[in-house]
Amino acid sequence: MLWRNMAAMATEEMIRANPIDGVVLLGGCDKTIPSLLMAAASVDLPAVVVPGGPMKTGTFRGAPLGCGTDVWRLSEETRGGSLSEEDFLSSESSMISSRGHCNTMGTASTMALVTEALGMTLPGVAGTPAVDSRLLENSYETGRLIVELVANERRPSAIMREGSFRNAIVALAAIGGSTNAVVHLLAIAGRLGVELTLDDFDRIGSRVPLLVNLQPAGTYLMDDFQRAGGFLSVLREVRDLLDPQALTVTGKPLVDYLDDARIWDHEVIRVRETPIEAEAGIAVLRGNLAPSGAVIKPAAASAHLLQHRGKAVVFDSIEEMHARIDDPNLDVDADSVLVLRGCGPRGYPGMPEVANMPLPTKLLEQGVRDMVRICDGRMSGTAYGTVVLHVAPEAAAQGPLGIVQTGDYIVLDVAGRSLNLEVSEEELRARSPSQAMIEAFAKPTRGWERLYVEHVMQADTGADLDFLRGSSGDQVSRESH
């Protein structure tokens, strides 16, 4: 979020300060499309997105590899002793077989598809592989479209409205998309003045069926997704949940593009009647450990851990976690709950993708492959596991995560939407953050990091900078050379 917000600020100034009438936004990996949309929303000149597209699938020993997801899986196998380091390195070099972003349903693919659901791409373009000639064709058509957008003064504020965000949340659930989309959509909505809250993701999306069988929540990869029918075929299956009035950059409603969409491979994309999971959208948790909310992705979690009670093993920083996680004397077992704090918007700073902590080596050697993990940071959209993340307020903002002690019992109940520490209110009030955690949060003294830490908001509102909420408009009051 440190760099997403900087990119958003820089792009906003470039769009606003230059003598342009409209802008084509070229984005790909993870935070580029969100930052571009945040900027475009604030300036509100006609804009349209062309996603860069996923890479083609690489293989290792004849098996397809999911970029990111298989890094997590195979690194655990290596740490657990069932895969040699040499083979692990060979798998890595086999993974990136072309230009393009991750070929899993990670944050990059998620945000491209969510952007189409918001109405900000040419319908049908998101998900097209980077090396596919159809992406060039769609780029050419987008160049023609931006001229039309300028002529008709069709601006982002006329496209990304309440119904568009509803469509984005429905799509996020149906594709089994990244939890990072929650933070990004909240930030984009904040730039537009759209009333979107963390609870809307649970209210609108949590009961939506998972229809897309892609890693990390499934088996296949993005080129399979495109072959099987692509994004519009998924939206057709949940058409009744979409806002029929929500517009796209073409000036027509999104639902107008669904009639001819077809699923060609029902193993990759399921029909509504036979979903991969009946209810798989992002779940929002609250309780005395997350008063302002936390999120979990049930589709990427282990079913037996979605209701769990275990003792906390606490790490005050990412450095401490790395130093201790493989200590054979670490007091941890499969029922423990790993807690990592100091990784929120302020605390790191920047809310890094570290919430999917590696499992202790001694448990990997016993065959354990998942544990409940809790963090105020994020995790890669390519990652999986029973991970509670985006805990708000974060530890560095005096959130209760900062006073959890090793040995405390934590109760996770995803069905009940709760996350609680089994400690009395009196004791919670009496506790203070550990000195180690305080020392780990070294507040920056200058530059961008200081500005960021002093103004960044919490995860439940999108981790944007407080003075950038709302719009700047496209007018420059004075020449500034």
Question: Tell me, what's the pLDDT at 442?
Answer: 75
197 pLDDT tier (thresholds 50, 70, 90):
very high
Beta-sheet pairing, 23-27 with 47-51: parallel
Residue 130 has pLDDT above 80, yes or no: yes
Question: Tell me, what's the pLDDT at 192?
Answer: 97
Q: Residue 156: phi, psi to the nearest 5?
A: -55, -35
Burial level of 451, CB count in 10 A (0-12/13-18/19+)? middle
Question: Tell me, what's the pLDDT at 472?
Answer: 85
The mean of the pLDDT values for the chain is 95
Reported as type and span, the H/E element at residue 308 is strand 307-315
Per-residue pLDDT tens over the stretch 314-323? 999 999 999 9
Per-residue pLDDT tens over the stretch 150-163? 999 999 999 999 99
Domain boundaries, the chain: 2-55+102-257, 58-95, 283-459
Average pLDDT of the residues in 99-123? 96
Average pLDDT of the residues in 327-347? 96
341 pLDDT tier (thresholds 50, 70, 90):
very high
For the chain, give the percent of residues with pLDDT over 70: 100
Residue 11 has pLDDT above 90, yes or no: yes
CA nearest 437: which of 306, 346, 307? 346
Terminal-residue alpha carbon distance, the chain: 30
pTM for this prediction: 0.95
Average pLDDT of the residues in 18-28? 95
Domain 283-459, CATH homologous superfamily name and number: IlvD/EDD C-terminal domain-like (3.50.30.80)
Residue 479 has pLDDT above 80, yes or no: no
Average pLDDT of the residues in 54-73? 89
For the chain, give the percent of residues with pLDDT over 90: 84
